[in-house]
Structure 1
Amino acid sequence: MRKLLVLLTAVSFVFGLSACSSNNDTKADKKETPKETVAPKVDVKKELVRFYMDLGNKINAKDADLNAYVNKASKPDAKPEELPTADEKAKASESAAAVAAELTNTQIPAGLKDQKAELEAALKDYAASYQAMADELKKDTPNLDAANATFAQGEEKLGKAYEGAKLLSPTLGKQVN
């Protein structure tokens, strides 16, 4: 009797394990099967923040000479020897032109299709601003006021895209200067 009881317990244990293992296999198959019909949900806020950070990084990678020139040229009580040299002004012009080219080639991420028009308009203004700076810096007495006004228009357009996603308007000028 005892042998029969042990044998029945062992058989029921084997059936129980096989039932559990086949159940786990079907669960694993369900997890591994990708859902091709459902597109992944995009977190627009994260995408906008990432776009803003990438934009600032792209500009900062190319505008060091421009920033150095502007910092030197904007000192109100600078002595003549502290003012930017012609070589520094030429490098600043090249730097601004490089930023304009980079901004012109910047693509809007696919996840931001609802903000694409506003972001493209902002990029266009930013690129025009940097190109205007590059052109002005080729003159004997450059005036960057018009370029700064165009940059401000880009800031407004960028801000509208962020406000539409219920985010605070970023200030790209603070990140790149």
Structure 2
Amino acid sequence: MRKLLLFLSALTMAIGLTACSSNDDAKTDKKDTPKETAKETEAPKVDVKKELVRFYMELGNKINAKDADLNAYEKKASKEDAKPEDLPTAEEKAAASESAAAVASELNAVQIPADLKDQQADLEAAVKEYAASYQAKADELKKDTPNLEAADATFAQAEEKLGKVFESAKLLPPSLGKQVN
């Protein structure tokens, strides 16, 4: 008889534990379901730092694809002890002007990625300044004695604007001038 009572009490306890256990699972499932659904419907979090660096690299690549003649001209024209035959020719100056105009046109067509919507206004302002700088160089190079100082100052303002965007994302400010020259 004792064995039977022991067996029945063990069976009762097992059934009780099973019932309690399945009841807790049902409560857990009900609690997790809304959270899991919310997690599944949330948009993936954007890594702003990564997107800013990607935008910066693409911007530099777009400029480098068009500014080879301008860079060659500026390199030749900047030599202080250059002989007259080492200075840029009229053809090189014209090619540099066309190169600068092509860069300005390319920059005017740049679209800010949707992932950087919070920085869009600041990035657009910086790109607009870069484009204005290259357009100023294109216009100056059409003159007999071009002076690129104003264009360089505009470029520096663009660098400053871009740097502030990067600093707001806790990144070091980049130097597009170093990347494209």
- TM class, shorter-chain normalised? 0.7 to 0.9
Query: Is residue 164 of structure 1 aligned with residue 168 of structure 2?
Result: yes
The offset of 1:38, in angstroms, is: 1.5
* 1:56-80 CA distance string (max 9 Å, x none): 0000000000000000000000001
Amino acid at match of 1:174: K
Amino acid at match of 2:142: K
**How many equivalent pairs are there?**
144
Q: Which has the larger radius of gyration?
A: 2
Please name the residue that 1:149 is paired with. 153
- TM (norm. structure 2) is 0.78
When the two chains are superposed, the root-mean-square deviation of aligned CA atoms in Å is 1.2
The offset of 1:36, in angstroms, is: 6.3
Amino acid at match of 1:50: R
Identity %: 82
Whole-angstrom distance in 2 between the partners of 1:37 and 1:100: 41
Whole-angstrom distance in 2 between the partners of 1:95 and 1:39: 41
Please name the residue that 1:124 is paired with. 128
The partner residue of 1:114 within 107, 118, 129 is 118
Task: In structure 2, list runs of 5 or more residues that go unmatched.
Answer: 1-36
Whole-angstrom distance in 1 between the partners of 2:139 and 2:40: 50
- TM (norm. structure 1) is 0.79
The offset of 1:41, in angstroms, is: 1.1
The offset of 1:37, in angstroms, is: 2.4
Task: In structure 1, list runs of 5 or more residues that go unmatched.
Answer: 1-32
Amino acid at match of 2:97: S
* 1:17-56 CA distance string (max 9 Å, x none): xxxxxxxxxxxxxxxx9x7622121100000000010000
* 1:132-153 CA distance string (max 9 Å, x none): 0000000000000000000000
The partner residue of 2:64 within 60, 69, 79 is 60
The partner residue of 2:108 within 104, 107, 122 is 104
Whole-angstrom distance in 1 between the partners of 2:79 and 2:127: 29
Query: Is residue 76 of structure 1 aligned with residue 91 of structure 2?
Result: no
Whole-angstrom distance in 1 between the partners of 2:41 and 2:150: 50
